[in-house]
Amino acid sequence: MKYDDIMKIKDIHEKNKSLKDFYLNEINILSWLDNTNNIQKILFKDRFEIKKNGLYHNLTGPAIKWRNGVEDYWIHGTY
């Protein structure tokens, strides 16, 4: 299943499970750190991401932090 198809899933539990499977199997992430309260924290080889309901989101810091030190700030999917 492609990412865009997963994002169309209405049931949040099914969406989160599909996202986790997608990241683990298709993207080859290092670790799925947290998947509670519609928050996903994912550690990739080159970055750390925080998403809420599938959108980049973090009110207390960067939603994406790259290993090279670059930080991307997002709120509800808006850069």
Rg (CA), the chain: 12
Instruction: Report how many domains make up the chain.
Output: 1
Asked if residue 65 belongs to a domain, the reply is yes
| pLDDT surpasses 90 at 49 | yes
- Short-list 46, 44, 50, 76, CA closest to 63: 50
Task: Provide the residue range defining the domain that includes 34.
Answer: 3-72
Average pLDDT over residues 35-50: 83
Asked if residue 68 belongs to a domain, the reply is yes
Asked if residue 77 belongs to a domain, the reply is no
Beta-strand ranges (E) seen in the chain are 31-36, 39-43, 47-52, 55-56, 64-66, 71-72
Asked if residue 55 belongs to a domain, the reply is yes
Q: Return the percentage of the chain with pLDDT > 90, whole number.
A: 47
Asked if residue 79 belongs to a domain, the reply is no
